[in-house]
Amino acid sequence: MRLRRINNKLVAPHRGRPPVAPEGYEPDPGDPFIFIIKLPPCEHREERLYKMPCCDTIKLWCNKVNLPIKRIHCAERLCDNVEDSGNDNI
């Protein structure tokens, strides 16, 4: 089965049963045909609720750099290369 990469996610065709997650990925809780990058444990990461005009959404936040962060950056531990000043962008 061929998976497509869309915004750092892997997407399988919605046919039949969902495939097994590729190594390093886990099924998206909202759609078992979408696979998101597994995140290593991190003491600096938290999920924050953001109110949008249309709906509420949850985003990852890095307390080390005091910025929102994408899953791919957190999975690759890019904040480990940032000073603890909290002012540097990832």
Is 32 contained in some domain? yes
Is 13 contained in some domain? yes
Residues facing residue 36 across a β-bridge: 26
pLDDT one-digit tens code per residue, 6-58: 888 999 999 999 999 999 999 999 999 999 999 889 999 999 998 989 999 88
Is 90 contained in some domain? no
* pLDDT band, residue 74 (cuts 50/70/90): confident
Q: What is the number of domains present in the chain? A: 2
Is 19 contained in some domain? yes
Whether 79 shows a pLDDT value over 90: the answer reads no
Full domain range(s) for residue 20: 4-37
Give me the amino acid identity at 8: N
pLDDT at 89: 45
pLDDT at 90: 46
75 and 50 share one domain: yes
32 and 50 share one domain: no
